[in-house]
């Protein structure tokens, strides 16, 4: 983005031109204790066991959120993992209900348009948050707030590499993630590993949230 902007500036303007980067981040870091409390509460509501893998899409079903790609990915995982559940936190209509019912005939899914005050409770009950974008110039410089929300809720991120900055943060901080463009079988072991070491994963995700995504920390570094 910096290079793109520079191309439109006159030579004498470039010296004084400043760029401040503030990611779409979080206001506060959710504690491990809260995440565990919410995880148990919502899973009990759903009637699923602790070792059930829950994959989630959260958004507004806009074309650029690629929900159809995510549904197809969910269906592939549905064939590979015995105890699996799918959450769709988005706008719901009859057409969408029927679409999901056909995609998951076993009924192992949950549909709900969440209120603000229950958003993180439900997210914390999940394991993998899916974020799929198109390869274009907008996403090359974007930082989706959904990435920060998923990570703050303790989820493992499952995405493609259309949005480079979040991927860079994950790799530089050694945070395990799922690249949905890789062979599905390669990802199953990582999913199992997070389940076995959930508290460890919460710890490293909270560290990244604190150091890189917290608004107070980001703003303070600009002053």
**pLDDT single digits (tens) 3-42:** 777 788 877 676 777 777 788 899 999 999 999 999 999 9
Residue 5 lies in a domain: no
Residue 17 lies in a domain: no
Q: What percent of the chain has pLDDT over 70?
A: 99
For residue 61, what pLDDT band results from cuts at 50, 70 and 90? Answer: very high
Residue 42 lies in a domain: yes
Residue 122 lies in a domain: yes
Residue 128 lies in a domain: yes
Residue 15 lies in a domain: no
**Count: domains in the chain:** 1
Residue 139 lies in a domain: yes
Bridge partners of 89, per DSSP, are 58
CATH number of the domain bearing residue 132:
3.40.50.2000
- Structural domain that includes position 169: 28-220
Bridge partners of 53, per DSSP, are 84
């Amino acid at each position: 983005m910096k290079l793109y902007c520079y191309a439109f500036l006159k030579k004498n303007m470039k010296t004084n031109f400043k760029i401040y980067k503030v990611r779409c981040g979080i206001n506060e870091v959710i504690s491990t204790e809260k995440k565990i409390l919410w995880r148990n509460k919502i899973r009990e509501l759903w009637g699923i066991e602790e070792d059930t893998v829950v994959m989630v899409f959260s958004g507004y079903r806009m074309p650029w959120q690629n929900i159809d790609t995510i549904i197809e990915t969910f269906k592939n995982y549905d064939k590979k993992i015995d105890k699996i559940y799918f959450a769709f936190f988005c706008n719901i209509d009859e057409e969408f209900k029927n679409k999901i019912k056909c995609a998951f005939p076993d009924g192992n899914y949950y549909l709900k348009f969440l209120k603000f005050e229950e958003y993180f409770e439900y997210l914390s009950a999940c394991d993998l948050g899916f974020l799929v974008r198109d390869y274009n110039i907008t996403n090359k410089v974007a930082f989706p707030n959904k990435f920060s929300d998923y990570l703050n809720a303790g989820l493992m991120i499952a995405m493609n590499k259309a949005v480079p900055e979040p991927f860079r943060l994950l790799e530089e901080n050694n945070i395990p993630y799922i690249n949905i463009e890789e062979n599905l079988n390669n990802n199953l072991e990582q999913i199992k590993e997070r389940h076995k070491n959930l508290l460890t994963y919460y710890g490293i995700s909270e560290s990244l949230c604190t150091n890189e995504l917290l608004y107070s920390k980001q703003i303070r570094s600009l002053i």
